[in-house]
């Protein structure tokens, strides 16, 4: 039986999504541990995205093959009973055998949350990046326009040794403001390692007057990580949704 899991988590205290040999403090590792105890043998799950250490998710998706006899509700109840309180499985559905959380996905939406100005939001401080200096939001929107579309995003990839294609299509970059809260919304067919955080750091440099919106063209053409801006901190980033046909 193949199950699709929709998961939300506060990534603050985890070493990212992907299981690693040097730590057992990953989201994938925690989920696999609980499911393995449930079925009495090792279980491997596939995640739609490998969120970094400190990154959060509202709509992470994973797929897992389990022995016959389990209902979606039983799987969800067991996971939520034994997972830590900062991880929740919000939905479990049975899917076709060929469904794969990552390979079947057609796109993702990430959101980066920023608190503007001198007054912090105490209750959201673990999920926002503070920027006290004034931001030119119109300039950031113009810069986002240059970054939308199908491009080689090698300049925005944090893995300098990445061997595969770095061409991705970004469907939309939204600059949404509500009072002192700024949300950058990224929708695309896929994102490279650290790509959203580097895009955010670069757009913030535009907003601070350190770069021009038009310089995005040169950054893309450079295909070199040093051409783009800083990598924004992890705590503001949320994997919002994964798209499927």
> Residue ranges of the domains in the chain?
2-95, 107-243
Write the CATH number of the domain with boundaries 2-95.
3.30.70.580
Reported as a single tens digit per residue, the pLDDT across 93-140 is 999 999 999 999 999 999 999 999 999 999 999 999 999 999 999 999
Tell me the pTM.
0.95
Give mean pLDDT, residues 1-13: 97
Is 52 among the residues known to form the active site?
yes
- Say whether 107-243 and 2-95 share the same fold: yes
Write the CATH number of the domain with boundaries 107-243.
3.30.70.660
Burial level of 224, CB count in 10 A (0-12/13-18/19+)?
exposed
Write the DSSP assignment of 118-150 as a string of letters. S---GGGGGG-EEE-S---HHHHHHHHHHHSEE
Is residue 120 a contact partner of residue 179, using CB atoms and an 8 Å limit?
Answer: no
Reported as a single tens digit per residue, the pLDDT across 28-84 is 999 999 999 999 999 999 999 999 999 999 999 999 999 999 999 999 999 999 999
Q: What are phi and psi of 7, to 5 degrees?
A: -130, 140
Of 10, 15, 24, 52, which one is the catalytic site residue?
Answer: 52
């Amino acid at each position: 039986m193949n199950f699709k899991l929709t998961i939300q988590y506060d990534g603050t205290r985890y070493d990212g999504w992907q299981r690693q040999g040097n730590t057992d403090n990953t989201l994938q590792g925690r989920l696999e541990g609980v499911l393995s105890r449930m079925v009495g043998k090792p279980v491997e799950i596939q995640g739609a995205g490998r969120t970094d250490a400190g990154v959060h998710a509202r709509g992470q998706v994973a797929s897992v093959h389990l022995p016959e006899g389990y209902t979606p509700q039983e799987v969800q109840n067991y996971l939520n009973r034994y997972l830590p309180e900062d991880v929740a499985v919000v939905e479990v559905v049975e899917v076709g055998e060929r469904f794969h959380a990552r390979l079947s996905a057609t796109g993702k939406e990430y959101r980066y949350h920023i608190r503007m100005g001198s007054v912090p939001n105490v209750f959201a401080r673990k999920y926002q990046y503070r920027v006290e200096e004034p931001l030119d939001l119109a300039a950031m929107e113009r810069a986002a326009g240059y970054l939308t579309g199908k491009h080689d995003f090698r300049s925005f990839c944090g893995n300098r040794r990445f061997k595969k294609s770095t061409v991705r299509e970004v469907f939309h970059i939204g600059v949404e403001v509500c009072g002192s809260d700024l949300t950058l919304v990224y929708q695309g067919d896929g994102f490279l390692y650290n790509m959203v955080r580097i895009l955010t750091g670069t757009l913030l440099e535009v907003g601070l007057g350190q770069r021009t919106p038009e310089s995005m063209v040169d950054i893309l053409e450079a295909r070199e990580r040093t051409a783009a801006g800083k990598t924004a901190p992890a705590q503001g980033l949320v994997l919002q949704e994964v798209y499927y046909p």
